[in-house]
Structure 1
Amino acid sequence: MKYEKLYINGEWVDGSSGEFIEIENPANKQIIARVPKGNAGDVDRAVEAAKMAFKTWQFESVEKRIELMEKVVQGLNDNAEHMTEVIVKELGSSYRVAKEVHVFPFIEEAENYVKIAKNYNFEKRLEKSIVRREPVGVVGGLTPWNFPLEQIVKKVVPALLAGNCVVLKPSQITPLTAYILTDLIDKAGYPKGVYNLVSGRGAEIGNALALHGDVDMISFTGSTEAGREVARLALNTIKKVALELGGKSATVVLKGGDYDLAVSSTLDTVYLNSGQTCNAFTRLVVPRDEMAKIESIIVEQSKGYKFGNPEDKSVDIGPLVSQKQFDKVKEYIEIGVSEGARMLVGEVPEGCEPGYYVRPVVFTDVTNDMRIAKEEIFGPVLCVIPYDTEQEAVQIANDSIYGLAGAVFGPEDKANEVARKIRTGSIFINEGEWDVNAPFGGYKQSGIGREGGVEGFEEFLEIKTMYVK
């Protein structure tokens, strides 16, 4: 794999700076690869290649776009085990989570985007007009470190199928999965310049793309703070912007619900991937008079998650991704203690040898005005918040600057009623499961736009009205 090259205009090329970023395995701090430290000059080269390619690619038949993407999807299937192993090493994810959460669902999503493109009607006839959907142009894709395949699939696959050209900037922390996909795109035979990869520091490459006059759209996934800055820069040239940002999602447990299911579903989102998931249910809102019962379930179920080195395939929870993330999560755990929350599970981490390991932590006796309940920690930390009335439970769930995800567990009719009152982009009800055809995105400061499904495909299309006889 050509990790030490950029991919621009259909070729693997050297970065302009001659400098590199080392990629660290967070489980043992060993350097496993290095990628070019791209700069604004590299962005200029990539955008120029994409701009030139778009002149013809936008008119390429949908059938040809699908044919090329089907080769990429086949490559993803053929390389699923390799990608799993790479994600274990670059992210620190456990093997099971890497395979079952990071890889196979998003190969399925790539396949689904192909199906959407096959069936999509790009034109709609009205009484006096035709409404067309056309590609936006040059798309800058900025992807995060916590889901290195998912977020690339959600941007690159629909953008290319819709007829756009792409410049991808993967995370500087977990870029290796992006290189595997880039190799598959190269081998599929896409025209030069249609897809480009520029690795590098987030602010440097991301800002250059956001400010570039020949970039027509920015699709960004990351923190709300970073997304706000990217959007501000992009609006200098009134680019189309899609943002998938942070979250502080709540599970609301109603009386009469399945408490065991509510707890296991919540812990799976908070513990697995070491809590480094934007839509994790990090607030567990429970009836005050059922607190003791639910706390005992949390303690008991927490024992069933194996914590340790992700190279051990029996492990469920591995390390955090970096020193920076370790320090941040440790500080929040200390804040929780200082705020008076009671630590039901876990401990304050001491050192980070041999890797960036933080055992799962559950705080109880939390109030929604505490920092640990309001701010996105991005680690395996759960806050248990009591309520007295159903109205108060809804108020707690909605009392957040975020609105990305959530869950409600209770008697079916009542759970559906409560779910409709919670202002969030997606919400699970009892045994509800992820649907590859459904859109994903947030309310409030959790983002703008949607990814996944037809709605995610349409993010990469502009609307043109043609008035005709």
Structure 2
Amino acid sequence: MNRIGDGIAARMDELATAISRETGMTKFLSQMIQVGLPINSFKQAAIVAENFEYSHELGNSLVVREPIGVVGCITPWNYPLHQIVAKVAFAMAAGCTIVLKPSEIAPIDAFILAEIIDEIGLPAGVFNLVTGTGPVVGEAMAAHKEIDMISFTGSTRAGRRVTQVAADTVKKVHLELGGKSANIICEDLDAETFAKAVKRGVGDAFLNSGQTCLAMTRMLVPKSRLAEAETLAAEAASAMKVGDPFEQTTALGPLASAAQRDRVNGYIQKGIDEGAKLLVGGVGVPEGCGKGYYVKPTVFSNVKNSMTIAQEEIFGPVLSIIAYENEDDAVRIANDTVYGLSGGVWASTKEKGVAIARRIRTGQVAVNGGAFNVNAPLGGYKQSGVGREYSEYGFDEFLEIKSMQL
């Protein structure tokens, strides 16, 4: 595991360049997130495997954990290497063999990873790479009787299909799916912290040009401070430079495909048609971005939580500002979604923030801008998934439990 991590580090620039070309993420963020996090994940998996408790006695029984077997990993295009390694590193460390199908939109990093794994001399058959589309190769993997488990990251719609196809062989299915996460900004924040919360919230929603399942795309603000939030959010979005992902001053690159660009513009038009207030952005191409799949960073206000843009995952740089009456109303709005992947709370104290976070039905919550922790478990509630990735919780997903009565 450590040698694979070192191999990724040695090819960081090559990997980051390939991923930026495939996904549109800025080169700087590709190095830090798309490549930096996978290096950590392989090393973390090694530590977990070395320290995990694989057996314990329970009365007259010996309870042991064993590798589940062959794991089929199906991964998306938005964080291609990062999401491959979240599965592959921990499954391999648990003693499983891998069949990986990367996204056909962003497969190059997977080929580079395969080269790295091959170079360290793992036995043939431990890691296997196949390419193709989800409806063809992905479904064949999900249906295959000799694949013991499917670990899938992608849309909720595709996750449902994977589950249906896998049902005939009653294999374990791990799912990390979509999100429509809420960022609750409390009324009692001072002006400086309120501004920080709104501006950080815009940046979070637009990370990777909004192509992030964890993005907090619903900003919930008190009705009494709606105008203040509107001004701050519009300023933050307008200040983001859209352009070439290889230029150091670029904040937002293009989307990954023409289909994704058209889909996002369709949602923006839907927001306008349903009566949301357009603060900045809108349908069309950003100024100076004639070539590429670019979308204007867009902020809506006066959004009702029943609107399409507040209920469906857009996967683009689109933020909805929703006003709430009180904290109970904010929690109600946050939970009024089929998703439950992520969320945020900005409160006057950590204790208050944690109390509100406990009421949100979601797999993880950032309190007062708490940093993302790749060593903590990641996964969703409701239709955002089943199971967890990373840490000992993600490692345990790839093990089966056996009881031996002695």
Q: Does residue 208 of structure 2 align to residue 273 of structure 1? A: yes
**CA displacement at 1:353 relative to structure 2:** 4.1
Q: Does residue 132 of structure 2 align to residue 197 of structure 1? A: no
Q: Does residue 318 of structure 2 align to residue 381 of structure 1? A: yes
**CA displacement at 1:331 relative to structure 2:** 0.4
Q: Does residue 279 of structure 2 align to residue 341 of structure 1? A: no
Residue type at the aligned position of 2:255: L
Q: Does residue 58 of structure 2 align to residue 131 of structure 1? A: no
374-383 vs 433-442, greater mean Cα deviation? 433-442
Q: Does residue 175 of structure 2 align to residue 243 of structure 1? A: yes
**CA displacement at 1:105 relative to structure 2:** 2.2
* Structure 2 counterpart of 1:299, from 234, 242, 245: 234
Please state whether the residue corresponding to 1:160 is helix, strand or coil.
Answer: helix
**CA displacement at 1:350 relative to structure 2:** 5.0
User: Deviation per CA, 1:440-460, whole angstroms, max 9, x where unpaired?
Assistant: 000000000000111000111
Tell me if the contact between 1:96 and 1:316 (Cα under 8 Å) persists in the aligned partners: no
Where does 1:35-434 land on structure 2 (aligned, <5 Å)? Answer: 69-257=1-189, 258-349=193-284, 353-412=290-349, 413-434=351-372
**CA displacement at 1:367 relative to structure 2:** 0.3
Residues of 2 paired with 1:397 and 1:165: CA distance?
Answer: 39
State the percentage of identical aligned residues.
47
Residues of 2 paired with 1:175 and 1:313: CA distance?
Answer: 25
Tell me if the contact between 2:68 and 2:400 (Cα under 8 Å) persists in the aligned partners: yes
Residue type at the aligned position of 2:221: V
Please state whether the residue corresponding to 1:261 is helix, strand or coil.
Answer: helix
Residues of 1 paired with 2:391 and 2:201: CA distance?
Answer: 25
Tell me if the contact between 1:329 and 1:379 (Cα under 8 Å) persists in the aligned partners: yes
Task: Give TM-score scaled by structure 2 length.
Answer: 0.96
Residues of 2 paired with 1:125 and 1:227: CA distance?
Answer: 37
Residues of 1 paired with 2:285 and 2:48: CA distance?
Answer: 49
**CA displacement at 1:168 relative to structure 2:** 0.2
Residues of 2 paired with 1:171 and 1:108: CA distance?
Answer: 22
User: Deviation per CA, 1:276-321, whole angstroms, max 9, x where unpaired?
Assistant: 0011000000000101111111122223322111121221100010
**CA displacement at 1:436 relative to structure 2:** 2.5
Residues of 2 paired with 1:271 and 1:434: CA distance?
Answer: 16
Residues of 1 paired with 2:28 and 2:71: CA distance?
Answer: 33
* Structure 1 counterpart of 2:387, from 442, 449, 455: 449
Q: Aligned pairs, how many?
A: 400
Structure 2: state its 5+ residue gaps: none
Off by >6 Å, runs of 4+ in structure 1: none
Residues of 1 paired with 2:200 and 2:361: CA distance?
Answer: 20
Q: What's 1:55 paired with?
A: none
Residues of 2 paired with 1:166 and 1:270: CA distance?
Answer: 33
Please state whether the residue corresponding to 1:183 is helix, strand or coil.
Answer: helix
Residues of 1 paired with 2:60 and 2:303: CA distance?
Answer: 59
Tell me if the contact between 2:299 and 2:319 (Cα under 8 Å) persists in the aligned partners: yes
Residue type at the aligned position of 1:355: G
Tell me if the contact between 2:5 and 2:38 (Cα under 8 Å) persists in the aligned partners: no
**CA displacement at 1:211 relative to structure 2:** 0.5
RMSD: 1.2
Please state whether the residue corresponding to 1:262 is helix, strand or coil.
Answer: helix
**CA displacement at 1:270 relative to structure 2:** 1.7
Please state whether the residue corresponding to 1:149 is helix, strand or coil.
Answer: helix
Please state whether the residue corresponding to 1:433 is helix, strand or coil.
Answer: coil
Residues of 1 paired with 2:14 and 2:404: CA distance?
Answer: 47
Structure 1: state its 5+ residue gaps: 1-68
Residues of 1 paired with 2:377 and 2:338: CA distance?
Answer: 21
Residue type at the aligned position of 2:337: S
Tell me if the contact between 1:277 and 1:378 (Cα under 8 Å) persists in the aligned partners: yes
Please state whether the residue corresponding to 1:243 is helix, strand or coil.
Answer: strand
Residue type at the aligned position of 1:445: Q
**CA displacement at 1:129 relative to structure 2:** 1.1
Tell me if the contact between 2:285 and 2:294 (Cα under 8 Å) persists in the aligned partners: no
Tell me if the contact between 1:252 and 1:393 (Cα under 8 Å) persists in the aligned partners: yes
Task: Give TM-score scaled by structure 1 length.
Answer: 0.84
Residues of 1 paired with 2:285 and 2:344: CA distance?
Answer: 33
Residue type at the aligned position of 1:137: G
Please state whether the residue corresponding to 1:166 is helix, strand or coil.
Answer: strand
Tell me if the contact between 1:130 and 1:466 (Cα under 8 Å) persists in the aligned partners: yes
User: Deviation per CA, 1:98-149, whole angstroms, max 9, x where unpaired?
Assistant: 1122221231122111111111121112221111110011110000000111
User: Deviation per CA, 1:255-279, whole angstroms, max 9, x where unpaired?
Assistant: 1232122223322222121100011
Change (3 A) 1:93 1:111: same
User: Deviation per CA, 1:310-360, whole angstroms, max 9, x where unpaired?
Assistant: 121221100010011011001000000000101111121159841100021
